[in-house]
Amino acid sequence: MDELVDFAAVAAQVEAACPRPDRSKGGRPPYSTEIMVRLVFIQSLYNLSDEECEYQVLDRMSFQHFCRLAGELHIPDARTLWRFKQQLAQGGLGGRAIFEAVSQQLQAHGYSPRGGQIVDASIVQAPVTLTKSEEREALNEGQAPEGWSSKKLRHTDRDARWTKKHGKSYYGYKVHANSDARYKLIRKIKVTPANVDDGQTLKDVLDASNTGKRVLAGRGYDSQANRDLLRDRQLRDGIGRRAKPGQEKRQRRDARNTAINRIRARGEHVFAGLQQLGGKVVRATTLARNELAVTLQCVAYNVKRLVWLAANEPAH
């Protein structure tokens, strides 16, 4: 990973997107942005909390070498790491800068988006906040429930939502991702509360740079608005079709859906890879911070995938 990714270039884009505080008037010099970017990358790759990341960097020489901290008397502690991520999360600029910088390097290595686009979504669970129904309604409306202290409010996730899938309830967020069918690299992402319908986000994750014209998506994206969107952008419709209420099975429709799902299954491999990295669970209590965490997990997946591609599959 260290050989294939130019983390100095990634750090430069992060500094351009969200400049760090000026310390010219005094104070302890901050750790370089490159060191901090390497730290959050290691954290995402191994699904570590801030405290675990500090401990592991202290304990492992390999981590210290990777983070350019070998021989240093002091390393960034958990609080320093937390503050850096807070800076990255503001406006979502830092996470997007890291994702875009790595995406550019993927293309520089020859792994341009090709083969068509696979669009899908997956639930990312968050710690459940135990509330009464009236308290939940107040939180969903952006208000503080009656009798709640400011401390309790700060420790409550007011952005996560409940949703149901296959009859089972989930609480948290949803990651909507676009991966290319050729290399199975994540090209576009959007993080929303879990109750957002998949079909509403198609326009946000379409990738104009993919050389393939076909967009493959599940039946959750089946709507006239999405079909019109693909037609307007001159993309081929590979969206699975839903059965209409009371409609009997149609052999032609089912055969079409089966043919789409054979290719669309490659998108499930992407989410399986994210799950191995811990990308199906988040720890923070706001959409902005959890969006950063999911974005960094997607970056870690892409770099891990890049290493495999470079070793096993030549670029075109």
Q: Are 165 and 124 in contact (CB under 8 A)?
A: no
Q: Are 69 and 87 in contact (CB under 8 A)?
A: no
∠72-73-79 over CA atoms, to 5°?
A: 95
Structure tokens given for 11: 């750090």
pLDDT of 266 over the 90 cut: no
- Region 197-221: mean pLDDT is 92
Reported as a pLDDT band with limits 50, 70 and 90, residue 113 is very high
Reported as a pLDDT band with limits 50, 70 and 90, residue 53 is very high
The residues that bridge with 170 in the sheet, in sequence order, are 163
The ranges assigned to domains in the chain are 7-99, 113-312
State the pLDDT at residue 316: 66
- Any idea which of 47-51, 206-210, 246-250 has the lowest mean pLDDT? 246-250
State the pLDDT at residue 248: 62
Q: Residue 291's closest CA among 132, 143, 114, 159?
A: 159
State the pLDDT at residue 249: 65
Distance, CA of 136 to CA of 146 (rounded, Å): 11
The three-state secondary structure class of 306 is: helix
Higher-confidence position of 262 and 98: 98
**Phi, psi (degrees; rounded to nearest 5) at 186:** -75, 125
pLDDT of 141 over the 90 cut: no
Distance, CA of 254 to CA of 18 (rounded, Å): 49
Reported as a pLDDT band with limits 50, 70 and 90, residue 153 is confident
pTM of the full predicted structure? Answer: 0.91
- Region 248-273: mean pLDDT is 83
Q: Residue 216's closest CA among 225, 224, 207?
A: 207
Q: Residue 232's closest CA among 203, 257, 209?
A: 203
DSSP string computed for 65-121: HHTT-TT-S----HHHHHHHHHHHHGGGHHHHHHHHHHHHHHHHTT----S-EEEEE
Reported as a pLDDT band with limits 50, 70 and 90, residue 64 is very high
- Region 304-311: mean pLDDT is 95
Distance, CA of 178 to CA of 172 (rounded, Å): 20
Distance, CA of 213 to CA of 215 (rounded, Å): 7
Q: What is the pLDDT of residues 2-44, one digit of tens each?
A: 999 999 999 999 999 988 777 666 667 789 999 999 999 999 9
pLDDT of 279 over the 70 cut: no
The residues that bridge with 123 in the sheet, in sequence order, are 174
Q: Which amino acid is at 126?
A: A
Strand 236-239 relative to strand 214-217, pairing: parallel
Measured N-to-C along each axis, helices 78-89 and 50-59 cross at an angle, to the nearest 10 degrees, of 130
From first CA to last CA, the distance across the chain in angstroms is: 20
Q: Are 38 and 102 in contact (CB under 8 A)?
A: no
**Phi, psi (degrees; rounded to nearest 5) at 194:** -65, -20
- Any idea which of 68-72, 102-106, 234-238, 278-282 has the lowest mean pLDDT? 278-282
* Residue the block writes with tokens 């401990």: 55
* Residue the block writes with tokens 């020859």: 110
